[in-house]
């Protein structure tokens, strides 16, 4: 049931960012919505739960996006490793730190995407347009990233509670 | 120390793997097609719902402006009618000339209409998903156009859906020429929705507002389809090429329906087989 929750959330986020957000000019240049979800998994969920979800939806993102195969998987796995490492010495359940974690994740993703383009395509220049795109993503990440994390944490808590209630009722019968 | 060495090794392996994947085409037949098939139906349902709601809004709530717009459109229609008569004359003469030159291809006979159901999740890459796939006759490497000009080409095809690489993506390349000057080059994706017209020799007199059309030499896009217009020319003091920026005619932000140029000869050949 836990995987069911993760799959539903990931599918919902992918659908929103590929079909709903392109119609809304305000959200042009919004960051990858799976980034805060995978940060949430890295901080709050165990390894055996997080890794299969990250690998599967990393692969899904590879197939629906036009980038070099492996970019999303690279980003998500390094994000996971990075966040896991950070939580060994920082108490990130602490709310004031959440925006920085999401911003760091968004910056890392952009760094990998732009870096791979620059490495594999000689002659490609870093333009002002690129810095604007990154700036807009960081702006959105600062304000909405912590909200996403808190929402995921809250909704999973509710889901888990509901699932436990249903299963205990079955046992009582 | 061990941790640092481990991280460096991991990064190196990661870059090597990405480099390999970047050079070799990875076919997503199998699990990749399944992944597209999982996501695409949800994307189609969502985009259809959004269009339905938007159409209701446009048709019923915007009627206040409709009468004014109607008057304007009537005038436009009259003008368009006059121009249409002229164009028909051109079309007839064009058809005669085409027959004369043994041009057998006619793009209007070979296109398949498709709807865009999803856009690329990353702003760094410019691809879209369309609701037509292998079962509809779509194959990898087919040209995707709209009446305004070239939109892109199919790069992944699953049973009912396909991924289209737009010409504004930096991985895209279209062999093109300037209509007036016949200067040849390669249209590559640039930044801010613009394209770069690469490898245009300095000797050619390319000017702003020149129209760029496909040359047909890449074997993907039929010859003569409009790509865009020249919006900037920089002639460096040294070097053999000039830097030309092209603004595509297609508005990729508002792209909703496209036409996939099929390959009738190949399909007939397969039927014969």
Contact across the interface for B36 and A64, Cβ inside 8 Å: yes
| pLDDT number for residue B24 | 52
Question: Cα–Cα distance between B214 and B216 in angstroms, integer?
Answer: 6
Comparing B167 with B84, the larger pLDDT belongs to: B167
Residue A59 at interface with chain B, using a CB cutoff of 8 Å: yes
Q: Give A36's contacts (C-beta < 8 A, 6+ positions apart).
A: A102, A105, A141, A145, A148, A149, A152
What is residue A168's three-state secondary structure?
helix
| pLDDT number for residue B273 | 47
> pLDDT for B121-170, tens place per residue?
888 888 999 988 888 888 888 889 887 888 999 988 888 889 999 999 88
| pLDDT number for residue B102 | 47
- In whole angstroms, how far apart are CA B28 and each of A11, A65, B31, B33, B208? 20, 12, 7, 6, 41
Instruction: Tell me which residue in A23, A67, A69 faces B124 most closely, judged by beta carbons.
Output: A67
Indicate the range of A57-66, B10-19, B93-102, B206-215 predicted with least confidence: B93-102
Q: Chain B residue closest to A118 (CA)?
A: B170
Residue B106 has pLDDT above 80, yes or no: no
Contact across the interface for B18 and A70, Cβ inside 8 Å: yes
- Across B202-222, average pLDDT: 86
- In whole angstroms, how far apart are CA A15 and each of A10, A61, B69, B129, B195? 9, 11, 35, 12, 28
Residue B38 at interface with chain A, using a CB cutoff of 8 Å: yes
Q: Chain B residue closest to A11 (CA)?
A: B39
Comparing B271 with B202, the larger pLDDT belongs to: B202
| pLDDT number for residue B100 | 47
Q: What is the Rg, in whole angstroms, of the alpha carbon atoms belonging to chain B?
A: 23
Contact across the interface for B127 and A65, Cβ inside 8 Å: yes
Question: Predicted ipTM?
Answer: 0.75
Residue B177 has pLDDT above 70, yes or no: yes
| pLDDT number for residue A76 | 92
| pLDDT number for residue B103 | 38
Comparing B244 with B110, the larger pLDDT belongs to: B244
A74 vs B contacts (CB less than 8 Å):
14, 18
Comparing B176 with B29, the larger pLDDT belongs to: B176
Contact across the interface for B117 and A19, Cβ inside 8 Å: yes
| pLDDT number for residue B109 | 54
Which residues between 121 and 160 in chain A have a beta carbon less than 8 angstroms from any beta carbon of chain B? 121, 124, 127, 129-130, 133, 137
To probe the interface with B, which of A15, A17, A18, A27 has the most B CB atoms within 10 Å? A18
| pLDDT number for residue B47 | 84
A59 vs B contacts (CB less than 8 Å):
31-32, 35
> pLDDT for B224-250, tens place per residue?
888 899 988 888 878 888 889 999 988
Contact across the interface for B122 and A18, Cβ inside 8 Å: no
């Amino acid at each position: 049931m836990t995987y069911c929750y993760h799959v539903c959330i990931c599918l919902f986020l992918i659908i929103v960012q590929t079909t709903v957000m392109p119609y809304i000019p305000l959200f042009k240049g919004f960051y990858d919505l799976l980034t805060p979800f995978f940060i949430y998994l890295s901080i709050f969920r165990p390894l055996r739960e997080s890794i299969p979800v990250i690998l599967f939806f990393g692969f899904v993102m590879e197939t629906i996006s036009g980038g070099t195969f492996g970019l999303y998987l690279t980003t998500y796995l390094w994000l996971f490793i990075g966040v896991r490492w950070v939580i060994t010495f920082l108490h990130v359940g602490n709310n004031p730190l959440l925006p920085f974690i999401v911003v760091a994740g968004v910056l890392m993703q952009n760094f990998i995407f732009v870096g791979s383009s620059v490495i594999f395509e000689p002659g490609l220049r870093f333009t002002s347009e690129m810095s604007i795109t990154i700036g807009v993503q960081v702006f959105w990440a600062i304000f909405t990233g912590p909200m996403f994390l808190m929402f995921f944490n809250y909704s999973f808590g509710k889901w888990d509670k509901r699932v436990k209630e249903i299963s205990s009722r079955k046992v009582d019968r | 120390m061990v941790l640092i060495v481990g991280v460096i090794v991991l990064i190196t392996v990661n870059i090597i793997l990405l480099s390999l994947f970047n050079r070799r085409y990875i076919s997503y037949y199998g699990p990749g097609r399944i992944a597209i098939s999982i996501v695409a139906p949800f994307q189609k349902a969502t985009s259809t719902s959004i269009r339905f709601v938007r159409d209701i809004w446009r048709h019923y709530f915007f009627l206040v402006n409709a009468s004014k717009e109607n008057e304007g459109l009537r005038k436009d229609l009259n003008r368009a009618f006059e121009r249409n008569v002229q164009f028909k004359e051109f079309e007839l003469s064009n058809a005669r000339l085409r027959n004369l030159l043994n041009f057998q291809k006619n793009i209007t006979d070979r296109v398949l209409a498709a709807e865009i159901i999803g856009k690329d999740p990353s702003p760094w890459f410019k691809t879209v998903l369309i609701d037509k796939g292998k079962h509809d006759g779509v194959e990898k490497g087919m040209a995707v156009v709209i009446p305004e000009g070239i939109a892109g080409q199919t790069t992944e095809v699953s049973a009912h859906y396909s991924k289209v690489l737009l010409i504004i993506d930096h991985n895209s390349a279209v062999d093109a020429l300037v209509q007036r000057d016949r200067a040849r080059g390669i249209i590559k994706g640039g930044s801010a929705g613009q394209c770069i017209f690469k490898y245009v020799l300095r000797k050619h007199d390319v000017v702003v507002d020149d129209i760029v059309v496909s040359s047909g030499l890449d074997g993907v896009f039929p010859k003569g389809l409009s790509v865009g217009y020249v919006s900037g020319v920089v002639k460096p003091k040294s070097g053999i090429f000039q830097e030309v920026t092209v603004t595509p005619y297609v508005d990729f932000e508002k792209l909703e329906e496209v036409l996939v140029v099929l390959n009738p000869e190949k399909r007939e050949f397969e039927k014969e087989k």
